Amino acid sequence: MNNEIKQIVQLAISEDVGRGDLTSALLENKMIEAEIICKENAVICGKEFVNLCFNLIDPKIQIKWNIEDGSSVSSGQILCSIRGFAKTIVTAERVSLNFLQILSSTSTKTSELVQLIRGTNAKLLDTRKTIPGLRRAQKHAVKCGGGVNHRMGLYDCIMLKENHILAIGSLEVLVRNAVSMFPDMPIIVEVESLDELRTALSIKDITRILCDNFSLKDLKEAVKLSRGIYPIEASGGINETNIMDHAETGVDFISIGSITKNVKSIDLSLRFVS
C-alpha cells in the first residue's frame, strides 16, 4: 500500500499547501519538539500516513511513536513525539491529523461493535461504503479495530444482487456463468426474503449468502435453513443498538457500512513542548 499511500498524501498536501504555507513563512527557522495527543479514548490507526505527511514536507523531521496501529489509548495520552523545524511541523500538522483522526475513527467504531458481539460466532465485516481514495486505508483501520474485511472492490469477489439477477433473469444462470468465467473468485448472493434464500440454497458453488434487511425472526429461520450448506451474512439497518440481537441469531457475519461511511473524527491535537 506504500505507493498508494504516497499518492494520497501528496494529493492532500497539494490541496492544503498549494503554492506555499503563508503563515509558517512568518516563523523563525527554529528547531522544536512537539507531541500529538489523543483527547478521547480511541483505537489508533494511521501512523504510516502521519509519517509520510511529515517526511514529504521535511525529510529531516523525526517522529518517535509511543503506540502501534491498533493500540487502545486513553484521553490525554501522548501518541508520538516530533522533532524538527517549527515551520515545517506546522505546515504538515493539519494534513497528518486529518488522516489520523479519520482512520482512528473507523478503528475505534469497529472495536466498539466487535466488543458488543464478543462471545458470539458472528464476525464484523466492512463494506465498499468508504471515503473515496481511502478504501485500503479504512479497511486496514477495520482490521486494527478487530473487524474483518469484506471484498476490496468489484475486482476480487462476485456479489450477485437483485439488479444483476433481474438483468439476466436467473440466479442459477448467473452463478453458472460466474463459475465458468471466474472459477477462483468467491461468489456472494444477496437475498431479500426467505423464498429467495431457499432458491439460493438449492444452487451449488456459492460461497456465502447475504440476507439483506431481514427481520430477526426471518434471520433465525435463515440460519436454520442454511446450516451445513452456506454461511450467512446479515446486513441492513444494523447498529450498536441491535447488533447483539442480530449476532445472537447465529449468523456468521454482520456487515455494517457506517464504520467507514459515518465518520466521527477522533479528537487529536499537536502542541509544541519546547
Provide φ and ψ at 64, rounded to 5°: -120, 115
Residues 144/272, Cβ–Cβ less than 8 Å: no
Measured CA to CA, the distance from residue 146 to residue 142 in angstroms comes to 7
**Of the listed 48, 93, 126, 190, which one is catalytic?**
190
Catalytic annotation, pick one of 128, 136, 161, 220: 161
Q: Is residue 190 annotated as a catalytic residue, yes or no?
A: yes
From the list 35, 40, 83, 94, the catalytic residue is 94
Q: Out of 83, 129, 135, 261, which one is annotated catalytic?
A: 129
Is 19 part of the annotated catalytic residue set?
no
Q: Is there a catalytic annotation at residue 212?
A: yes
Output the furthest CA–CA distance in the chain (Å, rounded).
Answer: 73
> Out of 35, 112, 212, 248, which one is annotated catalytic?
212
Catalytic status, residue 126: no
Please say if 161 is a catalytic residue.
Answer: yes
Give the residue numbers annotated as catalytic, written as ranges.
94, 129, 161, 190, 212
